[in-house]
């Protein structure tokens, strides 16, 4: 039996000591979750599920049900893995929070999804800056049940490891792709626009704003356009990109990105709120309420 990676240090967090392994893997301390932690999960889960009916993609809602997620308690990663691994080969690993990019990419390339082990406090219910357990487990994990999306995420990880070797500009291009698809992507269903991005499905306000506000642009998916488009992390998005299927996402990862990075390095980045003549515009935003200070 192969020994777990060497523990490098004990992280002192507000929930006491949590052992951290060399690759940032942390055992989910499920027994140490308080009634308050489970209560935060319940409030967020029930609020989002009520909001996402008719707003999230059908695949997202069906996958979340198939995983047996419920509002009653924070799911055990081991229970989720028992369903997820046979479905697409993915497993969840506990982490302390955001990982160095190369570690993160390496986990994705090996079909390990890092899930933050701690959940936000009650006073952070409406917003928390960094991804917590709710964002990762409720937002990111369900779609890993879909073979095509699961393949896209593994391909993204492999691309990330490669981009890390190419250089910082390639990484920026690739991070934008993650941002505008995995985190803030929309999908066109037969019965209308739906959400699949984790940053949206885990946010009450953005679940409404991304679909119903006049302010943001909604533009058809275009790989290179997305890789060149800047974004902000502190506000709702100025532009959402829309795929017509998860297969379209997977197909976009087929070409070697190296020549794309090269081509993009010779062009200037596109401000988050701009609309280009070449865009497939689904909705041209009014720009109402946009932050006017320097764009990302
Ligand atoms: N680490 N745990 C974790 N979760 C993420 O979503 C994550 C990360 N590190 C880097 C990162 N995301 C982004 O920079 C990706 O675009 C790579
Ligand atoms: Fe995320």
User: For residue 234, what pLDDT is reported?
Assistant: 87
Residue 288's CB is within 10 A of a number of other CB atoms, namely: 9
242 touches 219 (CB < 8 A): yes
Active-site residue, selected from the candidate residues 59, 107, 140, 164: 140
* Residue pointed to by tokens 């890789």: 227
User: For residue 7, what pLDDT is reported?
Assistant: 38
In sign, the C-alpha dihedral spanning 261, 283, 202, 271 is positive
Give me the residues of the chain with pLDDT under 70, please: 1-23, 295-296
SS3 content of the chain, % helix, strand, coil (to 5): 45, 15, 40
- Best residue among 26, 77, 95, 104 to mutate for probing ligand 1's pocket (most ligand atoms within 8 Å of CB) is 104
Q: Which atom of ligand 1 is nearest to the CA of 178?
A: 16
19 — phi, psi (to 5°)? Answer: -65, 135
Number of domains in the chain: 1
Whole-complex ipTM:
0.97
Closest residue (by CA) to atom 2 of ligand 1? 98
CA distance 189 to 191: 5
* Ligand 1 surroundings by CB, under 6 angstroms: 95, 98-99, 101, 104, 114, 131, 160, 175, 178
Q: Is residue 296 part of a domain?
A: no
Residue 183 Cα to ligand 2 middle (Å): 6
Tokens of 134: 């709710």
User: For residue 15, what pLDDT is reported?
Assistant: 45
Q: Is residue 16 part of a domain?
A: yes
Q: Is residue 133 part of a domain?
A: yes
**CATH code at 121?**
1.10.800.10
Q: Is residue 290 part of a domain?
A: no
- Dump pLDDT digits (tens) for 249-294: 999 999 999 999 999 999 999 999 999 999 999 999 999 999 887 7
SS3 label, residue 223: helix
User: For residue 293, what pLDDT is reported?
Assistant: 77
Residues spanned by the domain of 62:
7-283
| 38 belongs to the catalytic site | no
Q: Is residue 293 part of a domain?
A: no
Q: Is residue 291 part of a domain?
A: no
CA distance 53 to 129: 25
- Best residue among 100, 101, 157, 227 to mutate for probing ligand 1's pocket (most ligand atoms within 8 Å of CB) is 101
CA distance 107 to 94: 11
The model's pTM: 0.91
């Amino acid at each position: 039996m192969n020994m777990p990676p060497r523990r490098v240090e004990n992280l002192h967090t507000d929930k006491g000591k949590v052992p951290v392994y060399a690759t940032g893997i942390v055992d989910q301390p499920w027994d140490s979750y308080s009634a308050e932690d489970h209560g935060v999960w319940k409030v967020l889960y029930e609020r989002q599920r009520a909001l996402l009916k008719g707003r999230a993609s059908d695949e997202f809602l069906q996958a979340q049900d198939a995983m047996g997620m419920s509002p009653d308690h924070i799911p055990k990663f081991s229970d989720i893995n028992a369903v997820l691994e046979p479905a697409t080969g993915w497993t969840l690993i506990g982490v302390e929070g955001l990982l160095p990019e190369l570690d993160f990419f390496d986990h994705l390339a090996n079909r390990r999804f890092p899930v933050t082990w701690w959940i936000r406090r009650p006073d952070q219910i409406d917003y928390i800056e960094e991804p917590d357990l709710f964002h990762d487990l409720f937002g990111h994990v369900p779609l890993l049940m879909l073979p095509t999306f699961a393949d896209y995420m593994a391909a993204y990880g492999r691309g990330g490891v490669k981009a890390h070797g190419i250089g910082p500009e390639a990484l920026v291009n690739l991070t934008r792709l993650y941002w505008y698809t995995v985190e803030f992507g929309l999908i066109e269903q037969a019965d209308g626009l739906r959400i699949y991005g984790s940053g949206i499905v885990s946010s009450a306000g953005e679940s409404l704003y991304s679909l119903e506000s006049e302010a943001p642009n909604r533009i058809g998916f275009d790989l290179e356009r997305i890789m060149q488009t800047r974004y902000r992390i502190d506000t709702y998005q100025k532009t959402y990109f829309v795929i017509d299927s998860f297969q379209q996402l997977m197909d976009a990862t087929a070409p070697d990105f190296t020549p794309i990075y090269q081509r993009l390095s010779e062009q200037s980045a596109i401000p988050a709120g701009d609309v280009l003549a070449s865009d497939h515009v689904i909705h041209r935003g009014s720009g109402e309420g946009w932050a006017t200070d320097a764009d990302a």
